[in-house]
Amino acid sequence: MFSSLLSVLLASSALASPVKVNSFVTLPISKRVNLTGTRTLLERDLARVTHLRDKAHARLSGQPLASRAVISDQVFNEATTYLAAVDVGTPPTTFALIIDTGSSNTWVGATTPFVNTATTVSTGQSVAVSYGSGDFQVRHYPPNLPELNKPQGYGAPCGITFSLADHRALLPGTEVLDTVTLAPGLTITNQSIGVASSSDGFEGVDGILGIGPVDLTLDTLSPDTNSAIPTVTDNLFTQGTITQNLIGISFEPTNVDEIQNGELTFGGTDSTKFTGEIHFAPVTTVAPASEFWGITQSVRYGASTTIFNNLAGIVDTGTTLLLLPTSGFNTYTRATGAVEDATTGLLRVTNAQFNKLQSLFFTINGQTFEFTANAQLWPRALNTAIGGRANNIYLIVSSLGASTETGFDFVNGFVWLERFYSVFDTTNKQIGFATTPFTNSTIN
Ligand SMILES: *[C@@H]1O[C@H](CO)[C@@H](O)[C@H](O)[C@H]1NC(C)=O
Ligand SMILES: *[C@@H]1O[C@H](CO)[C@@H](O)[C@H](O)[C@H]1NC(C)=O
Ligand SMILES: *[C@@H]1O[C@H](CO)[C@@H](O)[C@H](O)[C@H]1NC(C)=O
């Protein structure tokens, strides 16, 4: 299963022409939907988010969460993930790594064994990160996916997996410094990497490419607990390979379960993927959202129904749904007439209710983004992929399950990012959003 994914990743990257333009690195991303197993999409999202929040609280208060292994836990929600083929060492070994904005360590060796080479330096430190709840099922690409347009730089395809099972994925290992090639011709030297000494739940995936804020790596090394580990983006920047320490992400809504329809850009933004201006907002100072790619926003339903005002939360590629604080979710439920569906865990509306569904309006640093009625639907063609009924209408708005004012009151997950281009700017501690040709898509 894994080798066929990797061979397709490699075959596609060989097709990409490695022409260096500006200092961008562009990685096409594929979306894949296949959710089975006992836990719903919502339960998986909540497991991730609860863990992220608890971990940040624990770190901020200086209180151990439980044992040391647990402090360095990171829940990885496998409902939506993206894979990139990444080379490590000289000569290189190629690993299929999940790209995650909600964590910041880079890991290899969970499935394909790590090989010590001429450029490998062991530091003698251990690393412990666990990604709770779930294993990964990787299915290979359709053989004849069209190549994405690659406007700048380098291309390498990535794939999304949806996880199936329910057990804890733990990656204990040792730290090495080594040469990492993210895409043909694009190389980072001296990248700190965790080499998995054992793993559970990473079937078919070799590890993680963590592109969250660097502070999320604190407490993951031992004995050097207080050292932050520069992320791949940090090193690309400090080594002069990219000229801005930022990442641009483009997703598009889709109603098929496998498609290469996204793009990750290191060091710049891809103007072919958005419309109008990118509007930036500072990373929130409200803890614990401030530990992540966090923002402050207000949300309104329709012309005048306030969902919430000025709360802090996060933007996260590893969360699937749009998660609201309980009170805002209750307001939304009343306004739409939706009911909770026991099978999927999602809200469900009738056809008549859907026809009256209003847009949600997100105001972020003075700029309002319209999230249409269609955007609030789970793609109907994919209902059965999440255990739903083909003719039902499910909504992607769910509750975080906490009262407001926790300092981590919402998550704008993957379904939200499919409608807006996003920019994660480390240098200026800000996050940008822009509309795209798909903001008003009616594909769902
Ligand atoms: C989802 O994955 C499972 C296990 O790999 C497979 O048996 C099943 O056919 C897939 N479902 C769809 C809808 O592709
Ligand atoms: C290599 O990276 C490590 C930490 O990631 C750092 O401590 C060390 O100074 C770096 N060495 C060089 C030569 O840049
Ligand atoms: C989406 O549609 C609304 C009207 O329904 C319009 O005001 C807005 O400009 C459109 N947005 C984009 C990005 O096309």
Q: How far is CA 252 from CA 82, 140, 308, 332, 424, in A?
A: 13, 20, 27, 25, 18
Which residues does a 6 A CB cutoff place in the pocket of ligand 3? 275, 370, 435, 439-440
As a whole number, the mean pLDDT across the chain is 77
Catalytic residue among 45, 87, 100, 270: 100
Residue percentage of the chain with pLDDT more than 90: 43
Which stretches within 229-349 are classed as H helix?
A: 232-238, 326-336
Q: Which of 17-31, 173-187, 194-208, 397-411 has the lowest mean pLDDT?
A: 17-31
Instruction: Say yes or no: CB of residue 77 within 6 Å of ligand 1.
Output: no
Mutate to test the pocket of ligand 1, among 5, 32, 34, 258 (most ligand atoms within 8 A of CB): 34
Residue 330 corresponds to which tokens in the numbers above? 């209750």
Q: How far apart are CA 354 and CA 367, in angstroms?
A: 27
Per-residue pLDDT band for 166 (boundaries 50, 70, 90) equals very low
Smallest CA separation from ligand 3 atom 2, residue: 440
* For range 30-37, the mean pLDDT: 53
Q: What is the pLDDT of residues 1-13, one digit of tens each?
A: 333 333 333 333 3
User: Is ligand 1 within 6 A of the CB of residue 385?
Assistant: yes
Q: Ligand 2, residues 119, 122, 177, 220: which to mutate, most atoms within 8 A of Cβ?
A: 177
Q: For residue 215, give the 3-state DSSP assignment.
A: helix
pLDDT of residue 171: 60
Mean pLDDT lowest among 104-108, 132-136, 221-225, 333-337: 132-136
Kindly indicate the confidence band of residue 33, based on its pLDDT and cuts at 50, 70 and 90.
low
Residue percentage of the chain with pLDDT more than 70? 72
Structure-block tokens of residue 261: 């329809």
Per-residue pLDDT band for 322 (boundaries 50, 70, 90) equals: very high
pLDDT-based confidence at 260, cuts 50/70/90? low
- 150 has a pLDDT exceeding 50: no
Residue 395 contacts residue 270 (beta carbons within 8 Å):
no
Q: Relative to the CA of 384, which ligand 1 atom is closest? A: 13
Query: What does the pLDDT read at residue 39?
Result: 64
What is the reported pLDDT for 82? 62
Q: How far is the CA of 435 from the centre of ligand 3 (A)?
A: 9
pLDDT of residue 224: 82
Residue of minimum CA distance from atom 14 in ligand 3: 440
The DSSP code for 385 is G
- Whether 177 shows a pLDDT value over 60: the answer reads yes
Pocket of ligand 1 contains residue 23 by CB under 6 Å: no
The structural domains of the chain, ordered by start, are 2-248 (2.40.70.10), 274-435 (2.40.70.10)
First-residue to last-residue Cα distance in the chain: 30
For 6-32, give the DSSP string: HHHHHHHHHHS-----TT-EEEEEEEE
87 a catalytic residue: no
215 is catalytic: no
Please give the pLDDT value at position 158.
30
Nearest CA to ligand 1 atom 12: 34
How many angstroms is it from 372 CA to the middle of ligand 3?
9
Cα distance between residue 144 and residue 132, in whole Å:
34
- Angstrom distance (rounded) from CA 176 to CA 179: 10
Q: Which ligand is nearest to the CA of 437?
A: 3
- For residue 267, the Cα-to-chain-centroid distance in whole angstroms is 18
Give the helix, strand, coil percentages of the chain, each rounded to 5.
20, 35, 45
In this predicted structure, what is the pLDDT of residue 393? 97
* pTM score above 0.85: no
